[in-house]
Amino acid sequence: MLEFFRKYQRYFFIFITVMVIASFSFFGTFNAFMDEEKRDDRIAGRAIDGSPIRLLQVQQIARFLSTDREDPPERGTPSNLLNDGVVRYDFLRAGLAEVMVSAYFKDLNPGLQTRLDKAKRFRPYAHPEMPALSAKAIWERYLPLLNQEITALQKEPIASVEVFSRLSRIYQQQSFLQPELLRRILMYHHQQYPGLSIDPKLTQDDLAVFGFHSLSEWFGDDFLHLVSQFILNAAVAAEEKGYRVSLDEAKGDLIHNFETSLSKLAAAQIKPDLNYRQHLRMLGFDEATAAEVWQKVLLFRRYFQDVGHAAFLDRAPYQGFANFAQETATLEKYEWPAALRFQNVNDLAEFQFYLNAVCKPEKNILALPQSFLSIEEVEKKVPELVQARYKARVAQLTKSQIGLRSSLKEIWEWQTNEKNWELLRKEFSFLPKTSSSSERFEALEKLDVPSRSQIDAFSRNQWVDQNPEWIQQALDHAQTAETSLALFGPDHAPSLRMPNVENGERLAALIAKAAGQDSDAIAQLRLYSDDGSTFFRFEGVEKVSDKHILTFEEARSLLPSMAGKYLEGQYLKVRTQNPAKFQNSDGEWKSFAQVKEEATSFILSDVLNALEKVRKNESADFKKPSALRLMVSAQQALEDLKKDPMDPRWIKTDGDPLVQQFKLVCNECQIQRNAKENWMSEDDFVMMPNQWSPIRLSDEGQVVFFYLKEKKTADTPILDLLAFGKETLAADAQRYLAEKLLESAKNKKAIVIPLQPNDQVGDQNEPL
């Protein structure tokens, strides 16, 4: 007998295992159904036709719609692959949800206020040592509208329909960048900082916006119950209109949704190991119950979609409008380079300073220069305007960044060391005198966040000072960026200006030598610092161009400070000519900063007086005389170009940049009647071809005119216009239908919000 059992023990084991699993499956499922039957299934209300709406039916629809296939499976809640986004698309995106919330706002207000309060307390993830490594930065790059909506929501004082609308938009936006994808992006960016300590919160914390996941967390159970009862009443109205959906049809649509969801997951290289029935059981539904729920959804959808599709648009008016709005004109547009646009007296002062520095004077003070000073003459007057260009690959790190290499544990050990503690106490007098490392640690733990951050930053800097080899190691691994370097001044003593560089002469000399392959200069540039706080690594230094005079556009970043110094010097000379304007009541001279605009206008009075004469000759009332600076030249250019449209005296070519910077740019372009540049469409569509437009001058200093070559009308496709128009009308029609249905439901008390709790059963035959 024992031999018999030993021989067939494998088969006995398999048989027993199968029977145990089968019994557990049967009795477990049976008990689940028995539990469901025992659940409270009272009448929650009555639909618009008087038929009962049962509590369990409302709860089943709400549970089925609480997730859809676009939601990630989180915190043990599976995504519903059978739901193709009923709430997401049919209610939130279509605008029906706002209509429903407006109608039942009083009932939904408490739950909405709770969510607003939680949203106001929400702070997106940010690395404690590198604030730039944050969820907000990732959203700003990929979903900028999400940041804007979150900021606007957190400024809302109390719950309102607008608060719900903002929550709806945030819910839809965040689905494009799910929390786990956000986590992976942050961890990828974290890897770009090798010395940055790992933040446990990045791997463990919930990164979901506001910590909301399911629809009930976003909008509340009351909202889901409202949607469920609305669908039930819409299904009743649909059946009254003659719509029919069989249970078999609902089952088929659910299977289709499931297969579509699996296809999308497969495209994302996700293959869930489950079938249709297994997924139903996972959701807590059997096939019949799910089909009954989906039958109501399909009735609602068909009713509302047919109302939307019934919106009619006539093709004829759209065709005529499209042909008129998209009539096209081809023209040659003439305008000064963007750098030559002057909006205020400071822009004008910088331009005049530049002209005096690099150009020979003209008889007409408003004329553009025709000849220029030599490089030697300009370098003698304003050396910064004569530059030689170099380029290099540059890495830059601060001491505080290098200090991030040390871990928190190392920093704590360093801080609690007795010798280092005395160093900290000299810098931070509020630290107490202690006798043990544990007392020092407790003292640090009791500090507020700003004080602790200051101490940590100081400690890391001291740590770097004690380990100077870290600087070169960090620079060797730091990423470089190609940087343009401008050297100015005499060849024997060049200089440059660069942020965080104090000794521009020393660095410029090294750059010039390194470009000539001087090995000693190249070695020094591998680790360069002036202040001991910012460190650079320069590689691949090359000379790009020899000395040349900068164009006005190239010099724009330098001119404010240079022109400011020049004007301040002139002010000291001319203020005696108008004491009443430049002295205070005590007879003391006002500082240049106090009277900068008045002093600049006084110093440039000859130019401004000439511009005032031009303004009086113009029909338009220009509030900014500085914008007229190039009007005289534009008028002369227009007269000459009417004779020769490509007159080389006025049209910009590929010649000397210094000369070409004061010539007009000519571009052929096409403009439609509905273009943003309204002034052009107003002019060119009333002009005949082969005509010149008048000069247009804006307060922003743009001077432009054009030559109209031709106009033509094209037979414009209008399918997109029709689709947009029909979609707009369809949405309006659906919202109107929803308003009417909600009005009827309110009158007949066909929607009950909130649902009564289980211990308030009430009359089973009457709505509660």
CA–CA gap between residue 709 and residue 556 (Å, rounded): 36
Kindly state whether residues 225 and 296 are assigned to the same domain.
yes
Number of domains within the chain:
3
Q: Could you give the percent of the chain with pLDDT greater than 70?
A: 84
pLDDT for residue 395: 92
Residue 162 one-letter amino acid = E
**Residue 569, pLDDT above cutoff 50:** yes
pLDDT for residue 764: 36
Token pair in block for residue 461? 């800097």
pLDDT digits (tens, 9 = 90+) for 709-746: 887 765 555 555 555 555 666 777 788 888 888 888 88
Kindly state whether residues 18 and 93 are assigned to the same domain.
no
Handedness of CA 160, 162, 167, 171 (dihedral sign): positive
When pLDDT is averaged across residues 216-245 and rounded to a whole number, the result is: 91
pLDDT digits (tens, 9 = 90+) for 63-76: 999 888 888 765 44
Kindly state whether residues 50 and 31 are assigned to the same domain.
no
How far lies 736's CA from each of 91, 241, 260, 461, 753, in Å? 14, 17, 32, 66, 22
Query: Considering the entire predicted model, what is its pTM?
Result: 0.50
Token pair in block for residue 175? 């689905």
**Residue 521, pLDDT above cutoff 90:** yes
Contact 168, 87 (CB under 8 A): no
Q: Averaging pLDDT over each range in 19-23, 178-182, 297-301, which range is the top one?
A: 297-301
When pLDDT is averaged across residues 346-367 and rounded to a whole number, the result is: 90
- 679: in domain: yes
The pLDDT confidence band at residue 385, using thresholds 50, 70 and 90, is very high
Kindly state whether residues 89 and 53 are assigned to the same domain.
yes
The pLDDT confidence band at residue 201, using thresholds 50, 70 and 90, is confident
- 56: in domain: yes
- 59: in domain: yes
When pLDDT is averaged across residues 174-191 and rounded to a whole number, the result is: 84
Kindly state whether residues 227 and 304 are assigned to the same domain.
yes
CA–CA gap between residue 429 and residue 442 (Å, rounded): 17
- 566: in domain: no
Kindly state whether residues 668 and 691 are assigned to the same domain.
yes
Contact 354, 555 (CB under 8 A): yes
pLDDT digits (tens, 9 = 90+) for 434-490: 888 888 888 888 888 888 888 888 888 887 888 888 888 888 888 888 999 999 888
Kindly state whether residues 11 and 83 are assigned to the same domain.
no
- 282: in domain: yes
Kindly state whether residues 114 and 76 are assigned to the same domain.
yes
- 459: in domain: no
Least confident span in 8-12, 126-130, 566-570, 676-680? 8-12
Residue 7's domain spans which residues? 1-38
| Radius of gyration in angstroms for the set of CA atoms belonging to the chain, rounded to a whole number | 38
pLDDT for residue 586: 84
Alpha helix stretches (DSSP H) within 467-595: 469-477, 504-515, 519-524, 552-555, 559-574, 579-582
- 480: in domain: no
Which burial class, exposed, middle or buried, applies to 186 when counting CB atoms under 10 A from its CB (0-12, 13-18, 19+)?
Answer: buried
Which has the closest alpha carbon to 553: 240, 305, 337?
337
Which burial class, exposed, middle or buried, applies to 138 when counting CB atoms under 10 A from its CB (0-12, 13-18, 19+)?
Answer: buried
Average pLDDT of the chain to the nearest whole number: 81
Kindly state whether residues 119 and 238 are assigned to the same domain.
yes
CA–CA gap between residue 183 and residue 260 (Å, rounded): 27
pLDDT for residue 32: 42
Kindly state whether residues 32 and 82 are assigned to the same domain.
no
CA–CA gap between residue 207 and residue 122 (Å, rounded): 11
3-state secondary structure at position 697 = strand
Token pair in block for residue 328? 């096209």
Q: In this predicted model, which residue has the larger pLDDT, 267 or 389?
A: 389
pLDDT for residue 73: 65
Kindly state whether residues 635 and 708 are assigned to the same domain.
yes
When pLDDT is averaged across residues 595-616 and rounded to a whole number, the result is: 87
- 636: in domain: yes
